[in-house]
Chain A
Amino acid sequence: MATTLDAKIPTGPLEEKWQKHKNESKLVSPANKRKLDVIVVGSGLAGGSAAATLGELGYNVRCFCYQDSPRRAHSIAAQGGINAAKNYQNDGDSVYRLFYDTIKGGDFRSREGNVYRLAEVSVNIIDQCVAQGVPFAREYGGLLANRSFGGAQVSRTFYARGQTGQQLLLGAYQALSRQIAAGSVKMYPRTEMLELVVVEGQAKGIITRDLLTGKIQAHAGDTVVLASGGYGNAFYLSTNAKGCNVTAAYRAYKRGAFFANPCYTQIHPTCIPVAGSYQSKLTLMSESLRNDGRVWVPKQKGDKRPPDQIPEAERDYYLERKYPSYGNLAPRDIASRAAKEACDTGRGVGPGGLGVYLDFADAIKRFGEKTIRERYGNLFDMYHNITGENAYKAPMRIYPAVHYTMGGLWVDYNLMSNLPGLHVLGEANFSDHGANRLGASALMQGLADGYFVIPYTLGNYLATQMGKKVSVDRPEFKAAEQETRARIERFLSIRGKRTVADFHRELGLLLWEKCGMARDAAGLKEALQRIPELRQEFWEDVNVLGGGEEFNQALEYAGRVADFLEFAELMCLDALERDESCGGHFRVEYQTEDGEALRNDDDFCHVAAWQYAGPDSRPIRNVEPLIFENVKLAQRSYK
């Protein structure tokens, strides 16, 4: 039976909700905090900041990551920047405007209460990071500098060269290191969570595998905080790090946590185009480049002339043409679709015609090469290194690629799942970006969740859990351990003919074609037919060598791909059931006359939260209605 979910948004005026909620939240006394065990899975911006802060507050924290050091979490790769409503540029920014831009950018598919809180705490994040020593870019006078990002007409993005994620993560990692040294956090690097343990309806622990020794271990705690990142790697090729996975979130889903909006994936417009089947990942060229780069394709179909021989009049600066007020800074979903459309009409450039130009010639003329080098030097170097081409001389070639996932585990205003005791932060949850995330907002959300939200809201759950500790001797832990071991043995015993990567590539291509930038019912139905077949082939014919009780990268990979092979079905099902277009979810059947996403607010102004119903049953689609008290739903316009 489908249920209607309650997000527990506090009542009252938008601007007062969070303060009111903080005032009314339950506190845990310092003496009791010491008795409470918090399990944090993930050491990225969300998990790292949460573990550090919760440790500092006096909880007993255990933090897990699969890399060899918490500092290497995927957040490290974020380039462009982090938004905050500081209004340092005096250009009309405000908490309300950041809130509104985020709601609109998400195509009116996110919660007002959550997004307003996000905009509100954004200013504290910058203060916190500066205090930790994050070397943000500054002006000559010594004050903080800003740049513009897509979907906004103000300059509110803070950055540290092209390495903003790295610097923010190092800030969180250093705070975490201080707690590790103080003994309040115990860190488990190279340790993967493979199962969530539920005791009497509450999330009470996890099962992990030590990646170095293969040891399976049960961990019991008073609550579990998941901050395991996004599932973009379901597509095989994406801008995510190789190890990014859905395993932690998907295992929680199979234990009863609802998975919200899995079809909302973000395809980033500015990535280096695919070059061949040997490729293991795609590389992002930061959106900040669109501040100075102009996107164009030849007007004429199949124009094979080199870019410098195509005269100005024969170029189509299609973003500037279609969206004059935002131009090259149109939001990501719109910019990506426009690039696809240009290529679909035969005007793409580069090998295979799957690329558009991002041209800096005008900016170089205007500001000089030195300034452009100062702003984007590392990105131009990266581009040169990968493609062997010099973007100071010829335009970059870019194409959209899978980048971020707005969908994730369902959480309420406290960031708690419908499964009590399970909290979900960062990209792993679904709460703030609706159907499309604006640039520089993921870093903001991860740090908001970890530094400023969970430390306040966790008490609401933990205050009810005093004296209810469970031990790993409980049958629920033994059973979950047993299942984990059995699964590993099953992988190792198949000894088929195909490699794990081979299956992953096939799945990725299928998702890209049927559930990528443009989707339709027929294609999604085909995918829903093919995925279970592919999964069956995997379990019959995959070849995973080596043993379970050793360092075995093939085995790690097999586990992740096996979960993608199940999860992919949920993505397609969600995309099929959502009979509308919104943000990154573009159903070809639903578009306006000029090809923009056509929402259906009457029937789909809600969150779809999927409930696992057993291996052979169709999952149940629950809904959370989205209620807009402050914002009027409108068709997004960036014209």
Chain B
Amino acid sequence: MNFKLKVWRQKGPNVAGQFVDYEARDIPADASFLEMLDIVNEGLIKRNEDQIAFDSDCREGICGMCSLVINGIAHGPGKAKTSCQLYMRRFKDGDTIWVEPFRAITFPVVRDLCTNRSALDRMIEAGGYITARTGSAPEANSIPIGKVVADLAMEAAACIGCGACVAACPNSSAMLFVSAKVSHLGLLPQGQPERTSRVVSMVRKMDELGFGNCTNHYECEAVCPSEISASFISRLNRDYARAATRQAAVLV
């Protein structure tokens, strides 16, 4: 298959970028999108041109490293997949394809299609954990957890932390990401002691880092490769409201 690519090239964080045209020729239909870019890059190197920088590692949709906006959609067309899981058979021969980095103020471009998403780590550091000193844990089966609750916690925990939700949101909100962690830990009995402080600290950190508010566009849910449900955002809002009243009560 052959494609025309329009790829965002940008030398570094502080210089202007632009779209550059490339031809992708003789691409096998079974190649993945990233393998297509590999082929284009090998061609560029042979012509002594700098390869297109893009992030990837596992290439099986779990590490969250790949992060492309393809034809205007974070992770490209199709439901519940990352950029690395997109296969060229999905496109038509001769298609023109636009490739850009994830766009958000909180994700500055570092080069071409790579961004700095460390703001996501900062929010986990603010409270996205359960304090459990190594070696101090009780016997694992001492607290049974109903399957329904455990399964729901797993659904939230499945977030791969890629940041597509932020890139897709018109407000660059990280509410889906934060709500997934707050729900995962808040649903489990082990997460109860820090439930209040966790939600408050994480939301505060999110605001401080410059992520926007959620105004119910649901674009996040639509692009999420792990199919994290936007209903977790409602759960977050409830937890946050509850936490605010509790904290007020403690302060009085």
Binding site for B on A (CB under 8 A): 49, 52-53, 56, 67-72, 74, 76-77, 86, 88, 124, 126-133, 135-144, 160-161, 163, 166-167, 170, 173-175, 177-178, 180-181, 187, 189, 212, 241-243, 275-276, 278-281, 283-284, 382, 385-388, 451-452, 455, 495, 497, 499, 501-502, 543, 545-546, 550-551, 553-554
Contact = CB atoms under 8 A, between A and B. Distances in A.
Contact of B42 (A77, A499, A550): A499
Contacts of B65: 67-68, 72
Contacts, number: 219
Interface in B22-50: 27-28, 30-32, 34-35, 38-39, 42, 45-46, 48-50
Interface in B203-222: none
Nearest to B134: A53
13 contacts: A53-B134, A135-B157, A139-B147, A174-B128, A175-B134, A177-B121, A241-B63, A275-B30, A279-B31, A386-B85, A499-B46, A550-B11, A550-B12
B154 interface: yes
Contacts of A174: 124, 128-130
Given A178-B131, A241-B57, 16 more contacts: A69-B121, A69-B161, A72-B64, A131-B130, A135-B153, A136-B150, A138-B146, A142-B144, A144-B140, A160-B154, A163-B158, A175-B132, A212-B116, A276-B31, A385-B85, A455-B134
B184 interface: yes
A166 B160 contact: yes
Nearest to A239: B60
A71 B132 contact: no
B235 interface: no
A617 B114 CA distance: 42
A69 B162 CA distance: 10
B137 interface: yes
A279 B35 contact: yes
Contacts of A86: 140-141
Given A71-B161, A385-B81, A551-B114, A130 B140 contact: yes
B170 interface: no
B20 interface: no
A227 B140 CA distance: 27
B237 interface: no
Interface stretch (B69-77, B185-193, B241-249): B185-193
Nearest to B29: A388
B57 A243 contact: yes
A180 B141 contact: no
Contacts of B14: none
B51 A553 contact: yes
B190 A128 contact: no
Contact of A545 (B51, B55, B132): B51
Given A138-B145, A138-B150, A177-B124, A132 B132 contact: yes
B126 to A, nearest CB: 7
B12 to A, nearest CB: 7
Contacts of A166: 62, 158, 160
A137 B153 CA distance: 10
Contact of B55 (A68, A452, A550): A68
Given A144-B141, A545-B50, A76 B157 contact: no
Interface in B95-135: 110-111, 114, 116-118, 120-121, 124-126, 128-135
Contacts of B144: 138, 141-143
B161 to A, nearest CB: 6
A133 B30 contact: no
Interface in B172-193: 184-185, 188, 190-191
B130 A52 contact: no
Given A72-B57, A166-B160, A180-B125, A135 B141 contact: no
B118 A133 contact: no
Nearest to A78: B62
Nearest to B36: A278
A233 to B, nearest CB: 11
Contact of B129 (A138, A175, A543, A553): A175
A132 B138 CA distance: 11
A360 to B, nearest CB: 21
A138 B140 contact: no
Nearest to B131: A178
A63 to B, nearest CB: 12
Contacts of A241: 57-59, 63
A170 B161 CA distance: 10
Contacts of A160: 154, 157
B89 interface: yes
B130 A133 contact: yes
B57 A242 contact: yes
A488 B12 CA distance: 20
A181 B129 CA distance: 11
Contacts of A126: 140
B154 A77 contact: no
A501 B38 contact: yes
Nearest to A180: B125
A157 to B, nearest CB: 14
Nearest to A54: B134
B157 A181 contact: no
A76 B162 CA distance: 13
A124 B117 contact: no
B34 A280 contact: yes
B13 to A, nearest CB: 9
Contacts of A243: 57
B145 A142 contact: yes
Interface string B144-168: 1111001001100110110000000
B129 A142 contact: no
Contacts of B60: 77, 281, 283-284, 382
A130 B190 contact: yes
Contacts of B110: 212, 551
B134 A501 contact: no
Nearest to B205: A181
Contact of B134 (A128, A170, A276): A128
A144 to B, nearest CB: 6
A187 to B, nearest CB: 8
B45 A554 contact: yes
Nearest to B150: A138
Contacts of A56: 133-134
Given A132-B190, A174-B124, A278-B28, A77 B145 contact: no
Contacts of B85: 382, 385-386
Contacts of A74: 57-58, 63
Contacts of B8: none
B87 interface: yes
Contact of A276 (B28, B128, B146): B28
A280 B157 contact: no
Contacts of B38: 278, 280, 501
